[in-house]
Amino acid sequence: MLQVSFLRQNKEIAKQKLAIKHFANLDLVDTVIAMDDERKQLQASFDEMQAKVNAASKEIGGLMAKGEKEQAENLKNEVAGLKTQLDPLKIKMAEVELQLQNTIVQFPNLPHDLVPKGKTPEENELVKQGGETPTLYAGAQAHWDLISKYNLVDFETGSKITGSGFPLYIGKGAKFQRALVQYFLDFNIAAGYTEYLPPFMVNEASAFATGQLPDKEGQMYHATADNFYLIPTAEVPVTNIYRDVVLKETELPLQMTAYSPCFRREAGSFGKDVRGLNRVHQFEKVEIIQIVHPDKSDEVLNEMVAHVEKLLVSLGLQYRILRLCGGDMGFASAITYDFEVYSAAQDRWLEVSSVSNFQSYQTYRMKCRFKDAAGKIQFAHSLNGSSLALPRIFAAIVENYQTEVGIALPKVLQPYFGAENLV
């Protein structure tokens, strides 16, 4: 959530930056400032009147104690008159505040200076490419054929149990998921992250704090009987650990990692994007999350990008890093780097990680602050990234490591899987 005070002081800059995010209604900036002016004015008159009521009430208390009943009664009537003016003011103030709140949440985060202009994924900026293009034998297959050939994942039975997009992993396929989760967590822990195993459902307040509500309600599964949402990513429960918290500066940076299943309704996807494991409603992911000093978030973002890169290198996958353009970025992010791995069998790049700096957008929304050395309260910055999402990594390894006789494994995974080959 953006702060009105910031918009007030940087009106033109804010508009320019919102335009990079392709936010259509730039006049809303002026609207919000006008609403805030009205709010201030109402609050000032309300406070003044309430102060009178408070003072009079205290006086009544004193008169009652002294037994001067008649005077007390007179004063009571006077205050009752004030109250009739106070009540409508109170209602109006609540209205204006709600309206202001509902309006300001419509603003996406402002993009970082490094974010390229552009609207479509084609306009993302290639930052780096690494690893080697795998050479496959003639007759190599895509993962959807391989997993059925070796009986690793059964989509039909998953559909029978739940619906399409809920894969059923079987035997070595299931064990491989477990091995990947374990490897990713260990890799993150070794880099200084603390492991959490969070709840997989969250309440409304948590979903609001990280920006899933009110906008993206339709993208989450909603357990209406209890009004809980199935998490679309571990970012939601883990970041919310620090909702409504004032940290000490010395506690920063907070580095957290968590495994969780992720549930996404993904309305409106179609075609080859959804084939096999490319897009599913339930998948496994290991996430990294940091809460840091605002002066450090640029630097930490680069560290997180380097961390994920190292992880992909260790898996021997060809990868590229993209800096997302304004139009392709998420709502709450100030800057995002996407990682894609190359699938030779599909001849396409698959997104496996997204690392973002949210700056104070989430922390302001969830009131996660810290007290600096001077004793001043400031909003921290939050960042997160996948390290890593499993299905497409699974797909890429299965495809790129296939041989005529089976599927090999990257060296680092062999001890986790307990064999040299997947099949």
Partner RNA sequence: AGAGAGGUGUCCGAGUGGUUUAAGGAGCACGCUUGGAAAGCGUGUAUACGGCAACGUAUCGGGGGUUCGAAUCCCUUCCUCUCUGCCA
Q: Is 51 in the site for RNA (CB under 7 A)?
A: yes
Distance in angstroms (rounded) separating the CA atoms of residues 182 and 415: 11
Return the H-helix or E-strand segment holding 311: helix 297-314
Backbone phi and psi for residue 154, each to the nearest 5 degrees, phi listed first: -120, 105
* Residue 367 CB, nearest approach to RNA (Å): 8
- Write out the two tokens for 26: 């730039």
Q: Is 323 in the site for RNA (CB under 7 A)?
A: no
- Write out the two tokens for 133: 């293009």
Minimum CB distance to RNA smaller for 358 or for 370: 370
- Number of H helices and E strands in the chain, helices first, is 13, 16
Q: Which stretch binds RNA (CB under 7 A): 52-60, 307-315, 331-339, 391-399?
A: 52-60
Instruction: Name which position in 2, 20, 28, 60 contacts RNA (CB under 7 A).
Output: 60
Q: Is 57 in the site for RNA (CB under 7 A)?
A: yes
Instruction: Name which position in 19, 33, 53, 419 contacts RNA (CB under 7 A).
Output: 53
From residue 83 to residue 122, the character string flagging contacts with RNA as x (rule: CB under 7 A) and all else as - is x----------x----------------------------
Instruction: Name which position in 19, 33, 64, 168 contacts RNA (CB under 7 A).
Output: 64
Minimum CB distance to RNA smaller for 89 or for 419: 89
Report, in angstroms and rounded to the nearest whole number, the Rg of the chain calculated over CA atoms: 27
Q: Is 47 in the site for RNA (CB under 7 A)?
A: yes
CB 361, CB 395: distance < 8 Å: no
Minimum CB distance to RNA smaller for 55 or for 306: 55
Minimum CB distance to RNA smaller for 19 or for 86: 86
Residues in the interface with RNA (CB under 7 A) total 30
- Which residues lie closer than 8 Å to 243 by C-beta, 6 or more apart? 205, 206, 209, 366, 367, 368
> In this structure, are strands 245-248 and 368-371 parallel, antiparallel, or unpaired?
parallel
Q: Is 414 in the site for RNA (CB under 7 A)?
A: no
Return the H-helix or E-strand segment holding 236: helix 235-239
Q: Is 61 in the site for RNA (CB under 7 A)?
A: yes
What are the beta bridge partners of residue 292?
Answer: 381
> In this structure, are strands 254-263 and 377-379 parallel, antiparallel, or unpaired?
unpaired
Instruction: Name which position in 24, 65, 190, 225 contacts RNA (CB under 7 A).
Output: 65
From residue 364 to residue 383, the character string flagging contacts with RNA as x (rule: CB under 7 A) and all else as - is -----x-x-----x------
CB 316, CB 338: distance < 8 Å: no
Residue 5 vs residues 64, 100, 157, 211: alpha-carbon distances, Å: 46, 13, 54, 20
Give the per-residue SS3 of 13-24. HHHHHHHHCCCC
Chain centroid, CA 391 distance in Å: 19
* Residue 59 CB, nearest approach to RNA (Å): 8
Q: Which stretch binds RNA (CB under 7 A): 25-33, 47-55, 257-265, 413-421?
A: 47-55
* Residue 200 CB, nearest approach to RNA (Å): 13
Instruction: Name which position in 80, 161, 197, 223 contacts RNA (CB under 7 A).
Output: 80
- Which residues lie closer than 8 Å to 390 by C-beta, 6 or more apart? 177, 180, 181, 283, 284, 285, 286
Minimum CB distance to RNA smaller for 5 or for 9: 5
Minimum CB distance to RNA smaller for 41 or for 164: 41
Q: Which stretch binds RNA (CB under 7 A): 62-70, 183-191, 314-322, 347-355?
A: 62-70
Minimum CB distance to RNA smaller for 83 or for 149: 83
Q: Which stretch binds RNA (CB under 7 A): 53-61, 187-195, 231-239, 266-274?
A: 53-61
Distance in angstroms (rounded) separating the CA atoms of residues 233 and 36: 34
Residues that bind RNA (CB under 7 A): 5, 36, 40, 43-44, 46-48, 50-51, 53-58, 60-62, 64-65, 76, 79-80, 83, 94, 246, 369, 371, 377
